[in-house]
Amino acid sequence: MIRVDIETIVMAAGPVPSVIVLRERTSASAGDAPLRSLSIQTGSYEAAAISKGIDGSAPKRPVTHDLFLSAIEALGARVERVEITRFETPVFYASVALLGPDGQEHLVDARPSDALALAVRTNAPVYVEDDVMNRNGTVSYRDGQKSEEEFARFDEFVHSVSPDDF
């Protein structure tokens, strides 16, 4: 399993899917190999639920992920980790590992978006199965030191895109 973090969430509206980009924390191979990323398409509601969990904004009333987390905690369990376990075109599969009050681990099948929404609310680690990353991941050349010029070019591109381009 490869430990990943949520690198970015690309929010979309209407029929265009939103995208969650996961990036591995450390390179799988030794040396200065670039980090890999895994992009998972999801709906706008699901992407918003993950985003709200990241920024910590609490809704006036609990949404589904908050309700489920409250139920987990009321039963004395906790979210131990999230795993993106497999990919069968075009669907990714995930599991939420719950640790019960008796110390027993329970794996619960979940959509990746729901699992990630729980992970960000509990600060649980996220892992991707090696085979999933090897087959579906892309190389991420992001080095954390983007120049202002590069950001300006990207901003110009974003403002030039129209709905007809999709």
Q: What is the pLDDT of residues 68-117, one digit of tens each?
A: 999 999 999 999 999 999 999 999 999 999 999 999 999 999 999 999 99
Tell me the average pLDDT of the chain.
86
* Conformational region of residue 5, where left means phi above 0, alpha means psi within -120 to 50, and beta covers everything else: beta
**155 vs 116, more confident:** 116
Question: Residue range 50-71: average pLDDT?
Answer: 84
Rounded to the nearest 5 degrees, what angle is found at the Cα of 38, between the Cα atoms of 127 and 154? Answer: 135
**Could you give the CA distance from residue 144 to residue 165 in angstroms, rounded to a whole number?**
29
The pLDDT of residue 161 is above 80: no
**164 vs 123, more confident:** 123
The pLDDT of residue 153 is above 80: no
**Could you give the CA distance from residue 82 to residue 13 in angstroms, rounded to a whole number?**
26
- Residue 57 is encoded by which pair of tokens? 């904004």
Residue 78: CATH number of its domain: 3.10.690.10
Q: Containing domain of residue 145, as a range? A: 2-165
Q: How many CB atoms lie within 10 A of CB 138?
A: 13
Q: Are 74 and 100 in contact (CB under 8 A)?
A: no
What pLDDT is attached to residue 30?
A: 52
**Could you give the CA distance from residue 127 to residue 22 in angstroms, rounded to a whole number?**
10
| Total number of domains constituting the chain | 1
